[in-house]
Structure 1
Amino acid sequence: MSICHAARPRIGREGFLHLPGYLDASRQSTLLGQIRDVLAASPLYVPTMPRTGKPFSVRMSNCGPLGWVSDQAGGYRYQAEHPLTGKPWPSMPELLLEVWRQVADYPLPPEACLINYYAPGAKMGSHRDADEEDARAPVVSVSLGDDAAFHIGGLVRAGPKERIVLRSGDVVVLGGAARMAYHGIDRVHPGTSPLLAEGGRINLTLRRVRALGAER
């Protein structure tokens, strides 16, 4: 499969890679249709914080063998079924698997794709992806829809941050020294992309959950 590389890669701190326009308009539209099929089977829901039960401002779902979920009773975790429907997560679209193969530099496929929908006003506080067994596997994310103000910092939440704009079709890789870096979405800029008829932004985050040799 040929994927458009619309701009030169932007490399920041070691292990952080920003690939602007990695998916061209046609691929974005194709992927969006596949994600809408996933959401028809595994609808978006509102997760809650482990300690406080406070709802997230984004709505979430997953595809792949495992899905990342959060609630007050069980905390952050991966599981094989949707927390509301009890059904297994749908398969991951092949286009996403192809992106992983091209950019991840890791011998095993992703096991989870977290689907976050950012409606106008939604954001994601500074966090790091630390619920996976092997931090040698990178985190790969794909942006669809409206522009988002993204920040990436260091290994402490309060450290200095670099800010960039993520646009529809962009791919980001957090690996190496940046794998455990704090990062988040400060805001979404409404009306900056025509891709989603309802507006807003979808972010697709690909993760390998289990370490090499730990398949079960």
Structure 2
Amino acid sequence: MTEGLFPRERAEVAPGAVHVPGWLPPERQRELVAACREWGRGPLPYRQTVLPGGGVMSVRSLCLGRRWEPYRYLDEVGVELPGWLAALGREALVEVYGEDGGFVPDTALVNFYDAGARMGMHQDKEERSGASVVSLSLGDRCVFRFGNTESRGRPYTDVELESGDLFVFGGPSRLAYHGVPKVYPGTAGPNLGLTGRLNITLRQTGLPVVSGRRR
């Protein structure tokens, strides 16, 4: 994590959308990086997602809990979502809103960004639940573009996310368009053991519980 002259301040970017800089301490960040690396060795490793129109996403992703593919959730679990990660998501909501709102995440998308990876503006709208989205950043600093609920264009706010940052969006901002137009290579702390950027996004789908299936 880079250090500036002035501490970065917690900010409400839009109603219900809150950025908490440096929420994860360094040791917890290293634990999460190790976990992400271990998940990638499992039966469903990181892969570039192919979109219905034939495009290929530049990020590499894996899913914990209920599996997601563009633009739907499957009725299967490939890799179980750990209870400790779900608990971390609830801690995040308590940090931001003062309560977890009964948050029971059943899916987590883990995205890996190398130097050239980007994420276009999109909505997280396949969920039936209106529960907030919890996003954790690890590794390289990035520009996170947080927009409006009507279109991919302006108005939007660009926020710099660094390793350890928490970003939560819910309420009026739950369906806001958002994306990552830029990653700053080589900005991860030297003690993190990560080249690139990882993002873990916890969500509650509101769909019926499904049993695990590995393939």
Structure 1-normalised TM-score?
0.83
Question: For residue 172 of structure 1, what is the aligned residue in structure 2?
Answer: 167
The answer to whether the 8 Å contact 1:92/1:113 transfers is no
Higher strand share: 2
Counterpart-to-counterpart distance in 2, 1:157 and 1:97? 30
1:153-192 to structure 2, matched below 5 A, reads: 153-155=147-149, 156-192=151-187
Q: Specify every segment of 5 or more residues in structure 2 that has no aligned partner in the other structure, as ranges.
A: 1-6, 94-99, 211-215
Counterpart-to-counterpart distance in 1, 2:30 and 2:117? 23
Question: For residue 38 of structure 1, what is the aligned residue in structure 2?
Answer: 39
Counterpart-to-counterpart distance in 1, 2:179 and 2:9? 23
User: Higher RCO, 1 or 2 (CA under 8 Å, sep at least 6)?
Assistant: 2
Question: For residue 91 of structure 1, what is the aligned residue in structure 2?
Answer: 81
Q: CA deviation at 1:101?
A: 1.2
SS in 1 for 2:47: coil
Q: CA deviation at 1:159?
A: 2.5
Question: For residue 119 of structure 2, what is the aligned residue in structure 1?
Answer: 124
Counterpart-to-counterpart distance in 1, 2:35 and 2:75? 20
1:48-197 to structure 2, matched below 5 A, reads: 48-50=50-52, 52-64=53-65, 66-70=66-70, 76-79=71-74, 81=76, 88-92=78-82, 94=84, 96-104=85-93, 105-135=100-130, 137-155=131-149, 156-193=151-188, 194=190, 197=193
SS in 1 for 2:159: strand
Counterpart-to-counterpart distance in 2, 1:164 and 1:215? 35
Q: CA deviation at 1:175?
A: 0.5
SS in 2 for 1:199: coil
The count of aligned residue pairs is 195
Q: CA deviation at 1:180?
A: 0.6
Calculate the aligned-residue CA RMSD, in Å. 2.0
SS in 2 for 1:107: coil
4+ runs of 1 displaced by more than 4 Å?
195-198
Question: For residue 205 of structure 2, what is the aligned residue in structure 1?
Answer: 209
The answer to whether the 8 Å contact 1:142/1:204 transfers is yes
